[in-house]
A and B are shown apart, each in its own frame.
Chain A
Amino acid sequence: MPKRTDIKKIMIIGSGPIIIGQACEFDYSGTQACKALREEGYEVILVNSNPATIMTDPEMADRTYVEPVTPDICARIIEKERPDALLPTLGGQTALNCAMALFQRGVLEKFGVEMIGANAEAIHKAEDRGAFKAAMQRIGIGLPNSRVAHTWAECQAAFTAVGLPAVIRPGFTMGGTGGGIAFNVEEYEEICRKGLALSPTSEVLVEEYLAGWKEFELEVMRDKNDNFVVICSIENLDPMGVHTGDSITVAPALTLTDKEYQQMRDDAKAIMREIGVETGGSNVQFAVDPRNGRRIVIEMNPRVSRSSALASKATGFPIAKFAAKLAVGYTLDELQNDITKATPASFEPSIDYIVVKTPRWAFEKFPGANPVLTTQMKSVGEAMSIGRTFKEAIQKAMRSLETGRFGFGADRKEALETRKFSRQELKAGLIVPGVERIFMIRRALRAGMTTHEICTYSGIDPWFIDNFREILEFERHLRGLGTLDKLDADTLREAKRMGFADAQFATMFNVSEMAVREHRKKLGVTPVYKLVDTCAAEFEARTPYYYSTYEEETEVAPSDRRKVMVIGGGPNRIGQGIEFDYCCVHASMALRELGIESIMVNSNPETVSTDFDISDDLFFEPLTFEDVMNIYDVMKPEGVIVQFGGQTPINLARKLHEAGVPIIGTSVDSIDTASDREKFHALVKQLGIKQPKGTMATGIDGALAAARDIGFPVLVRPSFVLGGRAMEICYDEGELRHFVGLAVEAAEGKPILIDQFLDSAIEIDVDCISDGETTVIAGIMEQIEYAGVHSGDSMCSIPTRNLSENVLRDIRETARKLAKALNVKGLMNVQLAIKDDQVWVIEVNPRASRTVPFVAKAIGVPIAKLATKVMCGHKLRDLGFTDEIVPRHYSIKKPVFPFNKFPGADTLLAPEMRSTGEVMGIDVTYGRAMAKAQAGASQALPRKGKVFISVKKTDKQHLPPIAQKLHELGFEIVATKGTADIIRAAGIPVQSVNKIQEGRPNVLDLVINGELVLLINTPSGKDPHTDEATMRKKSIMKGVPTLTTLSAAEAAIKAMQSLKGEEETVRPLQEFYA
């Protein structure tokens, strides 16, 4: 049957901001869906609050609502747009839950909207823990012993039935949020209560803990005719107990016989039928007891998931695209396999390589959080690698992570490691899954532990452990050669086939990486590139999607067209995520518009950039010098773009340049000038631009001397780090002493930077674009938090609100001067501080910044594309972009934080960036845009109720006007005694409440009982163990909007004023630009 003609207009819900458990993969799936549906002639209405997505580019959908993904707002959009159908399965758990709420509120029925892809009944059956259990029992599929509970009393009953240890899984949450493993009764109560609170349906599943069972996933699709296919099988290296998002995973499954695998496939098929996912992709997770093969189902997701993005990249099969097409009535056999263009989509991909996915964490940013992996996902990103064997793929995966590892150890990071592990520590490190457990395996192997012991402690299959052992044994053989010149071509080739990197040889033989590279090239040991073709070479493939390996025959045949290579951003991390992928995708699009062949290199499977139809050539490779150079050597592009992938390509730029690679756009020297303090200082001095005093110091004494010279407060940070990692403001010598210790470690021997800190300055971000002659301001963003909060963590607004025309003129002038002096070709980001109407320059990055997509959406100009064209030699004048656009509407960017995943860590904003993503609120007034930004970030502002206020001493003077406005808005104000006295003295009604140690009931009780609707707390110290911190953490867990700066409070009041007596309105981007 061909597509449905009874529906014309389809609404797609996106996944909102990037959070742990929901990252770029839903931009990838949503973008594919938009394209697939429009290709079929449907009108697409899109809702997503995340401006950094490709899917919210105005040309991706007919009507693009950058609005909060909430049931209220979606209901308004439905009312306004009257779509025929709603596709809820491509925007992660957020979209699924939102769609379910719309269904339950009767919105869909009222406006005659049909849910396609998966209907409400199927979603309920799969997501509701009780309904799922019943469904599995009906079809006789094994489940762990478990009980569903909705109250603490039911949890206690479940405890009796299940016992300890127990896994607690909340219903309808994503990334295992709120779940965990309880080993004792205290943990049991804590996790159950948290799970009940976080589940939208107050439901948890208490399940036996299957210690040491192996975990598998099948990515499956089904169409309306009941045709069923498995796209990919995935085996988790980490056994049950570690969330699959936090596990190293391998495709295809490697340790199942055909008999076991086919039965798993039968189960998945039966589950799809029973749950009733009629059209689309799902993910089914299984646990297998390695002792006897007993198999049970853990859960299924009736939607496209992170694993489906991985499966798509691992096989070349575009699951999201086909899910969208199945949803409108196609069957699998009617769709063509995009890669072969000859065979149908109704087949099961076969792969002739091994894919490894490794997660990347950010525990170092959340001191106080417990870095142990459980059933709740905590990683912020992932890298995928492809090799012909597991050994090759795992080593490539390790270097793809960009954490200083170049493989299974034998690298500089390991050489610098001084810590010794006792046998007891090794055992503990194997038993308790932590970050980098794989290196604990290495240490254990080196210490002579047997495979059996390692497997027993870790629960990891011996097959993997022995492969690690083989890598180590070969490394020992290599080390035994003694010197690089003893390494002959055959041995080197064998090592390369095991995935060893040049950098590892460099460490092993104590030579430079360049020396290894030269030796290797001299011996003629260079990689070949093989195709990812869905069919293990059985059919001819036309899609240029490649990975490197060391084999006999290469399949890449460079054309003689003009070619430019774009280096991507690698795995997501805090400070470098989807925004840079957005820029890379735009670069590729722009190159294609110019008729230049675009070559994309990236290692992040979640992204749009690694979709094979975005670029002319896609290389799924680690972003290291060696891997990038190897591609360069083969493809010989006329230029390489390093401006768009964040810090990753910038860090490679110098080495690539020195190796003779033409870096296009702003020169490597300019990039260096901007990042080298001495050079940059000289430059701004010469340009007559103000800069806070600063110096470099090594060691604590040097830092103290420097700070005394500059004067407190000072900003302290290690040089060359991303996202303000280990950056801190120190107000006195005590703080400085404490912090420098940490900074020295993060700097890995490099000096520490000490800068004058401009207290209470307004921070400004400027993105501009320059062709070397003309510089056009793309956006001036006023940050809402004062200086001292990392710009990535601060809310900001376009246009600015508190700056005079004179100051704005100075800002523009400063940016132009800098762009000219640095001879910028492409994008440049400038961070400025405004204090007493003076413009101070903080930092310049002659590359695309995190704010580029936000600015592009705010002003309606694709600045990353323009920048790409500029880099390729076009002039802004010819491209028609010569004047700054200052929009009449307001766009507010608001970051979102993963604090609820790291219960131990404090929630304060600081110079170190900790947000994982952002939303945009766009509306005609500042207040309304702010209200939407808050709602989009799941911090919807209240209209009435109790507001708690407590501010630090220096903020007290600013308190009365804020309290007054809150009072006028009809809020009840609650404060602890000192604050209450000030408010009362100003003649504003206020209730006093006990501080935590002042007795009960106290403020914490109010938070826990859900009596507060808003919490305003400007912290008086940084100690996360204070009462204040406890209160903030609690309110975050309870989902109470929490504001930690007065400027944010003022902004929120503006927003609440705009909500007063008014209904929200919704408006698509396309209308803002019109």
Chain B
Amino acid sequence: MLEDGRAFRGRLFGSERKGFGEVVFNTALTGYQEIITDPSYAGQIVTMTATQIGNYGINAEDNECEKAWLGGFVCRELSSIVSNFRSEKTLSEFLREQDVPGIDGLDTRALTLHLRKHGAMRGVIAPAQDAAALLADVKASPTMEGQDLVKVVSNRAPWDMQAGYESAFAETSVLKPLTPRLKCAALDYGAKTNILRCLVQTGFDVRVFNATAKAEEILAWGPDAVFLSNGPGDPAALDYAIAEIKKLIARKLPIFGICLGHQLLTWAFGGRTYKLKFGHHAANHPVKELATGLVEITSQNHGFATDPKSLPADVEISHMNINDNTVSGIRHKTLPVFSVQYHPEASPGPHDSLHLFKRFHAMAVEHSSVRA
């Protein structure tokens, strides 16, 4: 049931609770597990446009977070059988464990078209019941704008990311470790594990800090660089994080942001973000790096975007999404700070942009030698 009253009937699976959230669609053909475990989807109900879901089951090593934070999961046909040598359980078992409600059997294309035309909106996955009451519940649920979901998903004390993810299928197997090893403080707004792995694999010792960590606390660890992670919700609601980022920028630390991290940097630089109609949730978006003219196929997952007109003069746009000409990356003209809206760590999605981690390392190396 959507907030404008449109309802779709299907079969429920996973958790039996009602699932509220902003309904979005993702057009990736593979990677439902990574999507479900991506904390950025907190507060959202994800519709997969690919129709056969669950075919290869779930395995622990591909999880992006131990907990699935999303509000609900929608697909056309949930597979009753799992076929993959790494699979440990079925998707439906996993969602039940994670207390995430799912629904299949509905016309997901009609739902997708509805969202494309009318924009992402609130909805609920629930057993068929009094439609009016359900609609009232949906309307009473919180909207995405202004919502701070980061505090929900980022709730741990500082911890050190360990190396040692040895799967032959990891993206990190593509990255060759660089020297020297540097210290990177990663601000966890709902970070995907694979980003942290990529940082470690590239040549960083990574300490992960809570989203509410103060700049002083971070600086006390003595990092060579700072990473701003992805995460859920509206960046505009995260004043506390933006304030600390401003302090870190002022210290001229090399900073790299991804997704929400990129949006927070936008705010920290004095820019603004706005809400996209139905967001970008896909693994096939072309992003052009303006400096080279080259196009990478990227994994994307965001509902807000940087307003290009809001950026100050010393910040330039480095990457554009050439599907709709939205901002996909920014860079400070003098400071060692850059960020991208998309997901270079892939997982799921193409590996075209993994090289950005190397770029971050090189920037950190250059900067640390200057300081030394």
Which residues of the other chain, A, contact B110 by a CB distance below 8 angstroms?
Answer: 551-553
Interface-central residue, A254, A256, A470, A538, by most chain B CB under 10 Å: A538
In the docked arrangement, what's the CA distance between A253 and B51, Å?
12
Which residues of A from 250 to 294 have beta carbons under 8 Å from B?
A: 252-263, 265-266, 290-293
Which residues of the other chain, B, contact A227 by a CB distance below 8 angstroms?
Answer: 294-295
Interface size in chain A (residues, C-beta < 8 A): 59
Question: How distant is B223 from chain A, measured CB to nearest CB, in Å?
Answer: 30
In the docked arrangement, what's the CA distance between A462 and B348, Å?
24
Contact flags A871-883 to B (C-beta < 8 A → 1, else 0): 0000000000000
In the docked arrangement, what's the CA distance between A52 and B170, Å?
50
In the docked arrangement, what's the CA distance between A530 and B112, Å?
12
Which residues of the other chain, B, contact A535 by a CB distance below 8 angstroms?
Answer: 27
Question: How distant is A144 from chain B, measured CB to nearest CB, in Å?
Answer: 18
Given A266-B351, A352-B50, is A332 in contact with B29 using a C-beta cutoff of 8 Å? no
B286–A344 touching, CB < 8 Å: yes
Other-chain contact of B29, A233, A292, A461 (Cβ < 8 Å): A233
Question: How distant is B81 from chain A, measured CB to nearest CB, in Å?
Answer: 4
B76–A462 touching, CB < 8 Å: no
Closest residue of A by beta carbon distance from B50: A352
Cβ of A226 under 8 Å from chain B: yes
Which stretch from B82-90, B139-147, B331-339 is at the chain A interface?
Answer: B82-90
A263–B79 touching, CB < 8 Å: no
Question: How distant is B112 from chain A, measured CB to nearest CB, in Å?
Answer: 4
Which residues of the other chain, A, contact B8 by a CB distance below 8 angstroms?
Answer: 552
B286–A538 touching, CB < 8 Å: no
A255–B51 touching, CB < 8 Å: no
Cβ of A225 under 8 Å from chain B: yes
Question: How distant is B348 from chain A, measured CB to nearest CB, in Å?
Answer: 4
A259–B62 touching, CB < 8 Å: yes
Which residues of the other chain, B, contact A260 by a CB distance below 8 angstroms?
Answer: 169
Which residues of A from 721 to 775 have beta carbons under 8 Å from B?
A: none
Cβ of A466 under 8 Å from chain B: yes
A463–B55 touching, CB < 8 Å: yes
In the docked arrangement, what's the CA distance between A257 and B56, Å?
6
Which residues of A from 337 to 395 have beta carbons under 8 Å from B?
A: 343-344, 346-354, 388-390
Interface-central residue, A229, A346, A389, A467, by most chain B CB under 10 Å: A346
Which residues of B from 276 to 330 have beta carbons under 8 Å from A?
A: 282-286, 288, 293-295, 297, 322-324
Cβ of B15 under 8 Å from chain A: no
Closest residue of B by beta carbon distance from A352: B49
In the docked arrangement, what's the CA distance between A668 and B62, Å?
61
Interface-central residue, A262, A263, A344, A349, by most chain B CB under 10 Å: A262
Which stretch from B30-38, B118-126, B211-219, B357-365 is at the chain A interface?
Answer: B30-38
Cβ of A333 under 8 Å from chain B: yes
Given A225-B293, A252-B50, A332-B295, is A537 in contact with B113 using a C-beta cutoff of 8 Å? yes
Cβ of B148 under 8 Å from chain A: no
Given A227-B294, A252-B29, is A258 in contact with B348 using a C-beta cutoff of 8 Å? yes
Given A227-B294, A266-B351, A333-B295, is A350 in contact with B29 using a C-beta cutoff of 8 Å? yes
Which residues of B from 160 to 209 have beta carbons under 8 Å from A?
A: 167-171, 174
Cβ of B275 under 8 Å from chain A: no
A352–B348 touching, CB < 8 Å: no
Given A347-B286, A350-B50, A537-B49, is A262 in contact with B27 using a C-beta cutoff of 8 Å? no
Other-chain contact of B284, A256, A261, A349, A461 (Cβ < 8 Å): A349
Other-chain contact of B294, A226, A354, A553 (Cβ < 8 Å): A226
Which residues of the other chain, A, contact B352 by a CB distance below 8 angstroms?
Answer: 228
B108–A553 touching, CB < 8 Å: no
A352–B169 touching, CB < 8 Å: no
Question: How distant is B254 from chain A, measured CB to nearest CB, in Å?
Answer: 28
B349–A258 touching, CB < 8 Å: yes
A265–B351 touching, CB < 8 Å: yes
B31–A388 touching, CB < 8 Å: no
Cβ of A162 under 8 Å from chain B: no
Closest residue of A by beta carbon distance from B281: A538
Other-chain contact of B28, A228, A350, A555 (Cβ < 8 Å): A350
Which residues of the other chain, B, contact A538 by a CB distance below 8 angstroms?
Answer: 25, 27, 49, 112, 116, 282
Question: How distant is B77 from chain A, measured CB to nearest CB, in Å?
Answer: 5
A333–B170 touching, CB < 8 Å: no
B346–A262 touching, CB < 8 Å: yes
Contact flags A315-353 to B (C-beta < 8 A → 1, else 0): 000000000000000011100000000011011111111
Question: How distant is A460 from chain B, measured CB to nearest CB, in Å?
Answer: 11
In the docked arrangement, what's the CA distance between A233 and B168, Å?
21
A352–B297 touching, CB < 8 Å: no
Which residues of the other chain, B, contact A261 by a CB distance below 8 angstroms?
Answer: 29-30
Cβ of A536 under 8 Å from chain B: yes
Cβ of A539 under 8 Å from chain B: yes
Given A233-B29, A352-B109, A536-B50, is A259 in contact with B167 using a C-beta cutoff of 8 Å? yes
Given A257-B33, A344-B322, is A463 in contact with B79 using a C-beta cutoff of 8 Å? yes
Interface-central residue, A253, A462, A535, by most chain B CB under 10 Å: A535
Question: How distant is A882 from chain B, measured CB to nearest CB, in Å?
Answer: 52
Other-chain contact of B85, A293, A463, A537 (Cβ < 8 Å): A293
Question: How distant is A550 from chain B, measured CB to nearest CB, in Å?
Answer: 9
Other-chain contact of B112, A262, A351, A352 (Cβ < 8 Å): A352
Interface-central residue, B167, B285, B352, by most chain A CB under 10 Å: B352
Which residues of the other chain, A, contact B108 by a CB distance below 8 angstroms?
Answer: 352
B297–A292 touching, CB < 8 Å: no
Which residues of B from 33 to 57 have beta carbons under 8 Å from A?
A: 33-34, 49-52, 55-56
Closest residue of A by beta carbon distance from B354: A266
In the docked arrangement, what's the CA distance between A539 and B277, Å?
12
Which residues of the other chain, A, contact B293 by a CB distance below 8 angstroms?
Answer: 225, 333
In the docked arrangement, what's the CA distance between A42 and B281, Å?
40
Cβ of B341 under 8 Å from chain A: no
Closest residue of B by beta carbon distance from A531: B109
A293–B168 touching, CB < 8 Å: yes
Cβ of B155 under 8 Å from chain A: no
Which residues of the other chain, A, contact B244 by a CB distance below 8 angstroms?
Answer: none
B109–A537 touching, CB < 8 Å: yes
Question: How distant is A261 from chain B, measured CB to nearest CB, in Å?
Answer: 5
B28–A389 touching, CB < 8 Å: no
Which residues of A from 221 to 249 have beta carbons under 8 Å from B?
A: 225-229, 233
Closest residue of A by beta carbon distance from B51: A388
Other-chain contact of A348, B59, B85, B112, B284 (Cβ < 8 Å): B284
A262–B348 touching, CB < 8 Å: yes
Contact flags A286-314 to B (C-beta < 8 A → 1, else 0): 00001111000000000000000000000
Which residues of the other chain, B, contact A348 by a CB distance below 8 angstroms?
Answer: 283-284, 297, 350
Other-chain contact of A354, B51, B62, B112 (Cβ < 8 Å): B51
A530–B347 touching, CB < 8 Å: no
Which residues of the other chain, A, contact B347 by a CB distance below 8 angstroms?
Answer: 258-259
Which residues of the other chain, B, contact A259 by a CB distance below 8 angstroms?
Answer: 62, 167, 169-171, 347
Closest residue of A by beta carbon distance from B61: A259
Contact flags A616-658 to B (C-beta < 8 A → 1, else 0): 0000000000000000000000000000000000000000000
Given A347-B285, A389-B52, is A466 in contact with B80 using a C-beta cutoff of 8 Å? yes
Other-chain contact of B86, A226, A293, A331 (Cβ < 8 Å): A293
In the docked arrangement, what's the CA distance between A254 and B55, Å?
7
B322–A333 touching, CB < 8 Å: yes
Question: How distant is B175 from chain A, measured CB to nearest CB, in Å?
Answer: 12
| Extra pairs beyond A257-B62, A346-B297, A470-B80 (6, CB < 8 Å) | A258-B283, A262-B349, A346-B322, A462-B81, A537-B27, A538-B49
The chain A residues found within 8 Å of chain B, CB to CB, are: 225-229, 233, 252-263, 265-266, 290-293, 331-333, 343-344, 346-354, 388-390, 451, 461-463, 466-467, 470, 530, 535-540, 551-553, 555
**Can you list 20 A-B contacts (CB < 8 A)?**
A255-B55, A257-B84, A258-B33, A259-B169, A259-B171, A259-B347, A343-B322, A344-B323, A349-B284, A350-B50, A350-B284, A354-B51, A354-B52, A389-B76, A463-B82, A470-B80, A538-B282, A551-B110, A552-B8, A553-B113
Closest 7 CB pairs of A and B: A258-B31, A553-B110, A258-B348, A259-B169, A536-B49, A463-B83, A552-B107
